Structure 1
Amino acid sequence: FLDYPLALKAFAAAQVEKKVADTVATLVWLDPGVMVLNSLAALDLDGEFSAAVRPVTLANTIAMPPQSEPDDYWKPIYEETGLDCKTLPLLETIADEVKIQPYYNCEVFSFNPGLGIAKEWARLLGRFLKDENYQKTACTTFLKRLFLHQAVLSAVISSRAKPDRIKALPLTSGYPFNQHEKLSVSKKAASLNDLSVVIFDYAWDSSPAWMKKIKIEEPLHQWLFATYLDYLQIAPAIYRVEGSCNSYLIAGQQGCVLIDPAGASDAPEFFEKILEKFPLKAILLTHAHQDHSDDIEKWKTDTGIKVVAQRQYKEYFQYQAEMADFFARRNAIWSGKPLAAEPPAPKVSRGEPTVFFADEHHFELGGLNFIMRHTAGETPDHTTIWIPELSAVFVGDNYYEYFINNSTFRGTMIRPVLGYIRALDTALSFDPAYFLMGHGSPLVSRKAIKTKAGALRDALRTIYNETIKGINAGKDVYTLMREIKLPENAALRQYFGKVEWTVRGIWQEYVGWFDENPATMYDLPFSSVFADLNKLAGEDKIIKKAEEYFNKKEYVKVLHLTDVILHFDPNHKSANEIRIKALKSLQAGSGNFIEGIWLKHGIRSAEDRIHENN
């Protein structure tokens, strides 16, 4: 159930419910990302209630308006549980304050195990997970797959407990910390000390400055600081903070080494606490990306602290400077902001490396050997760092838990897939016990490293080989984009990159842009005859054909047809309207972050053109 990562909750709850059904009257579920700070009394059912829950924090695209007929996602769930939308109570989401039908948060809740709620939750969820048709037709977005377990639990509770037997869980016993800044004044906690149960979710792990977002009084503040610092130690002598990237601090008796400083700058107080006892001696850079290499000057507090990078590090910033106007435009689209009148001025003061190396650099500090090896992949200057005494390898951005993105839509030179493969070969050849990447939670067992990092390496090798094979067979790039898939045993989510984009990147890297069509040798693109095609076919016929394709869910063909009209008439109302519908349909079916950015940009651009025409 790779696409349903939270489904395991139902099956775990059912197992516990079975063991305690005859011995307790209240069973409390707390997600791993939850912290208990005060009494759990609000979750106690006191023999009076069947469950204690609160509404979801956000409606997203899942919750249904009051008394509305269930959609394809909810209808089978309601049918299985016998719910009637007309008789269900009205709820309101916590953060966006939207009126909804019962849809409960299941990160913190309690229930009477004697009612078989968890057993039915697991049974019903299992049925939907095995229903391939339901998955294809109803679970059409990442969020609908992610929260299917929550929708099913909501229906089970609503069907097994009368409204007056469902205890309203106060916000203090399920406080959504990630939404703290977005909560209305009446709901926002004045102090962390006032809360009983806090849902940190990913904030604890990937938002190191979380302690600055809310007032925390002593002695809780001191205890949390010490607890969090202890949490940041992921292995003997190795600490990790994830801000813009994973920053790692290797602490020894003779001093510390900082790997990729930028990520630690959001909450520098944690590493600074360690540096009070073990001063910083060196900064090592895995690569030049600013989310890793920024803030050298903040951490290089002494001229004796050396900063080490691969020698192509400098060329990356020369490339960025040459393409500044282009990147300003792309980054504005990326962030959903209007294009600035002038590109941002380059950073005036930027700390620079003091030591550059070509192939390998080695130094020793307090009995620890730091071996830096050039392994171009995500960037030309990319470096793998190996510390044999700690059995720890630092791979930067040459490994993600998701599929790679070998040509970002923000604009980069092609990232060689063979580079990623060779970099992973290098890292795996050390047989490390700790595999420390640039973003996300490290891999901390040899089995996990071989399984996950090895799976990415093997999948990339398969895709690379199949692409080269297809090129040699004379297949065009679009055929290969359609044909080449991830190996069936590769459990890799395509969240940033996609296989078809990687195939296209390999094609362009190896054989360039020419596709053997003589027409593409010249400076007139295919769009130069769109006006002629429009006259020959007629706008009405093109729109009609686009609508046919839309009804057949062939949304990309809708985009191509509307391109024909919009190329010479950008404000054409009907073409923009059907295009928006196609883009929104593609958006609804996408679980890819980058694809979503550009679909959203397309929607916003088409909507702006319609507004300009009104």
Structure 2
Amino acid sequence: TLTFGDRLDTNIAGLDVQFLHVPSEAPDEIVLYLPNNRVVISAEVDQGPTLPNIHTLRGTRFRDPVQWVESLDKLRAYQAEYMVPLHGRPVSGQDKVEEVLRMTRDGIAYIHDQTVRWMNKGLTPDELVEKVKLPPYLAGYTPYLREYYGTVKHSVRQIYNGYLGWFQGDPVALDPTPPRQQAERLIALAGGRDKLLLEAGNAYLKGDYQWAAELAGYAIRVDHEDQLAREIKARSFRKLGYASMNINWRNWYLMSAMELEGKLDGDVIRQRSAEMRKVFLSPDMVRSFTPQSFLQNWVTRIDPEKSGDVELTLGFSFPDVDEQWALEVRRGVAQLHKGIPEGTALRLSMDKSFMDTLLTGEGGLVKGALLGDVKVDGSLLEIRRFLNCFDFSEEAFGLTLR
């Protein structure tokens, strides 16, 4: 494996290639430049014909807009004749490549700079999304800054949270009324559930779908089986989804509508989860997981109710890769150690290849012990007690019904 820090110039099959590290959508983003052909393969620094997704709604670490802008400027410095992004059509002509990169860069910079400007004047995320808007010359740069994938509004919220976190300055948010209790009190103020849903229905009929969904949500929070509230919210989400140009917003609206309509049951979710696991855990990817990463995942699966009175250490040996690790459970806390401490009585030994089957779900420790793939040292009852301290269940959960 050949690694590099910022830049690597090499030759592949007679073709000069430059690899350049350009953090943007991902911190490890890399572009390729072919100097003899003046072609830049722009990876996802340029996400194609859309406003870049500065934040992804599914959740991720902070994508630094400043780094993204700097990376786009690095691509501009090539003065390439052709640009081939991983998404969308190629761009031809030096002037056109420069224009697309410059406008994309300016779009991200504008959103970032104006968000920070108004943050420094005390605006909160709900206020910022009403204040920060692209000027017509950027918003109208079709299709490269159209909000097909990213949006200004959810980018603004990400920038605020990335710099300042969740607290917006009002101490009422430090220890708020629990959501269900809040919903019960607001429904009582509205005159009861029937009056609340009557107002929600009227809002829906008037085309005020956001307000209808918000009102119906209070009734759902109190009673997840309130079918009228669920139908009002689902229909409102479908109206909002069908009207949305943004594919991410549309997906969330329509999938949430399906959840409210009862079309996403646990069995369906589990089946889709298993299918996605096969896609993302390809054999090559599984082989890249280290014993350390495998066991570190256990640390956040510790169940304090099951381990509150447990103090045990289990050693793990992987002889084929010459690695040893130990997991220590201390009354609700798990700690991973490199190496196995002297005197550890409980030990499991397995090849890394068997560990891979645990990741894919094809293998199990008990099955492995019975078939000889896992060597066990120490009390089986104590090892079982240790393993019972962890929560490996993967139950489906709702995102809208809560």
What TM-score bracket applies, with the shorter chain setting the length? Answer: 0.5 to 0.7
Contact 1:459–1:487 (CA under 8 A) maintained in structure 2: no
Deviates most, 469-478 or 356-365:
356-365
Structure 2: gaps (5+ residues): 266-402
Q: CA deviation at 1:426?
A: 0.5
Q: CA deviation at 1:610?
A: 12
2:90 maps to: 442
Contact 1:384–1:396 (CA under 8 A) maintained in structure 2: yes
1:536 maps to: 189
1:302-343, Cα deviation, whole Å (9 max, x unpaired) = xxxxxxxxxxxxxxxxxxxxxxxxxxxxxxxxxxxxxxxxxx
1:520-556, Cα deviation, whole Å (9 max, x unpaired) = 2237544541112223321122112212322343222
From 17, 22, 45, the equivalent of 1:375 is 22
Q: Please give the TM-score of this superposition, normalised by the length of structure 2.
A: 0.60
From 503, 510, 521, the equivalent of 2:163 is 510
C-alpha separation between the residues in 1 aligned to 2:178 and 2:212? 20
C-alpha separation between the residues in 2 aligned to 1:541 and 1:523? 25
- Describe the shift of the 1:363–1:475 C-alpha distance in structure 2 as closer, same or farther (beyond 3 A): same
**Would you identify which runs of 4 or more consecutive aligned residues in structure 1 move more than 6 Å?**
none
Structure 1: gaps (5+ residues): 1-353
SS in 1 for 2:222: coil
Contact 1:393–1:436 (CA under 8 A) maintained in structure 2: yes
SS in 2 for 1:355: coil
Contact 1:571–1:610 (CA under 8 A) maintained in structure 2: no
Q: CA deviation at 1:408?
A: 1.6
C-alpha separation between the residues in 1 aligned to 2:247 and 2:169? 33
Letter in 2 for 1:602: S
From 550, 554, 563, the equivalent of 2:208 is 554
SS in 2 for 1:522: coil
1:588 maps to: 242
From 59, 64, 68, the equivalent of 1:411 is 59
Contact 1:573–1:610 (CA under 8 A) maintained in structure 2: no
2:374 maps to: none
1:275-314, Cα deviation, whole Å (9 max, x unpaired) = xxxxxxxxxxxxxxxxxxxxxxxxxxxxxxxxxxxxxxxx
1:360 maps to: 7
Coordinate RMSD, CA, aligned: 2.3
1:148-187 to 2 correspondence within 5 Å? none
2:174 maps to: 521
From 495, 511, 525, the equivalent of 2:148 is 495
SS in 1 for 2:90: coil
From 117, 139, 142, the equivalent of 1:469 is 117
C-alpha separation between the residues in 2 aligned to 1:586 and 1:369? 50
Deviates most, 499-508 or 482-491:
482-491
C-alpha separation between the residues in 2 aligned to 1:569 and 1:526? 12
1:430 maps to: 78
2:297 maps to: none
1:141 maps to: none
Contact 2:9–2:19 (CA under 8 A) maintained in structure 1: yes
1:320-373, Cα deviation, whole Å (9 max, x unpaired) = xxxxxxxxxxxxxxxxxxxxxxxxxxxxxxxxxx11222222213466432222
C-alpha separation between the residues in 1 aligned to 2:264 and 2:11? 64
- Describe the shift of the 1:610–1:498 C-alpha distance in structure 2 as closer, same or farther (beyond 3 A): closer
C-alpha separation between the residues in 2 aligned to 1:594 and 1:586? 12
1:328 maps to: none
- Describe the shift of the 1:527–1:390 C-alpha distance in structure 2 as closer, same or farther (beyond 3 A): farther
SS in 2 for 1:435: strand
From 107, 120, 124, the equivalent of 1:459 is 107
Contact 2:10–2:18 (CA under 8 A) maintained in structure 1: yes
Q: Are residues 1:575 and 2:229 paired? A: yes
C-alpha separation between the residues in 1 aligned to 2:123 and 2:75? 34
- Describe the shift of the 1:467–1:527 C-alpha distance in structure 2 as closer, same or farther (beyond 3 A): farther
- Describe the shift of the 1:442–1:434 C-alpha distance in structure 2 as closer, same or farther (beyond 3 A): same
Q: CA deviation at 1:508?
A: 1.0
Kindly, what percent of the aligned residue pairs are identical? 26
Letter in 2 for 1:544: L
Letter in 1 for 2:224: P
2:336 maps to: none
- Describe the shift of the 1:432–1:472 C-alpha distance in structure 2 as closer, same or farther (beyond 3 A): same
- Describe the shift of the 1:523–1:447 C-alpha distance in structure 2 as closer, same or farther (beyond 3 A): same
1:597 maps to: 251
- Describe the shift of the 1:386–1:610 C-alpha distance in structure 2 as closer, same or farther (beyond 3 A): closer
SS in 2 for 1:364: strand
Contact 2:241–2:251 (CA under 8 A) maintained in structure 1: no
Q: CA deviation at 1:375?
A: 1.2
1:56-67 to 2 correspondence within 5 Å? none
2:318 maps to: none
1:11 maps to: none
Contact 1:576–1:610 (CA under 8 A) maintained in structure 2: no
Letter in 1 for 2:250: G
SS in 2 for 1:489: helix
Contact 1:373–1:383 (CA under 8 A) maintained in structure 2: yes
Contact 1:571–1:609 (CA under 8 A) maintained in structure 2: no
Q: Are residues 1:420 and 2:68 paired? A: yes
1:126 maps to: none
1:146-195, Cα deviation, whole Å (9 max, x unpaired) = xxxxxxxxxxxxxxxxxxxxxxxxxxxxxxxxxxxxxxxxxxxxxxxxxx
C-alpha separation between the residues in 1 aligned to 2:147 and 2:82? 24
C-alpha separation between the residues in 1 aligned to 2:30 and 2:251? 29
Contact 2:237–2:257 (CA under 8 A) maintained in structure 1: yes
SS in 2 for 1:379: coil
1:18-47, Cα deviation, whole Å (9 max, x unpaired) = xxxxxxxxxxxxxxxxxxxxxxxxxxxxxx
1:390 maps to: 37
C-alpha separation between the residues in 2 aligned to 1:479 and 1:396? 34
C-alpha separation between the residues in 1 aligned to 2:78 and 2:105? 15
C-alpha separation between the residues in 1 aligned to 2:59 and 2:112? 21
1:463-488, Cα deviation, whole Å (9 max, x unpaired) = 11110011001011111112222221
- Describe the shift of the 1:357–1:523 C-alpha distance in structure 2 as closer, same or farther (beyond 3 A): farther
C-alpha separation between the residues in 2 aligned to 1:363 and 1:389? 13
1:217-232 to 2 correspondence within 5 Å? none
1:14 maps to: none
Aligned length: 259
Letter in 1 for 2:245: G
C-alpha separation between the residues in 2 aligned to 1:362 and 1:532? 65
Q: Please give the TM-score of this superposition, normalised by the length of structure 1.
A: 0.40
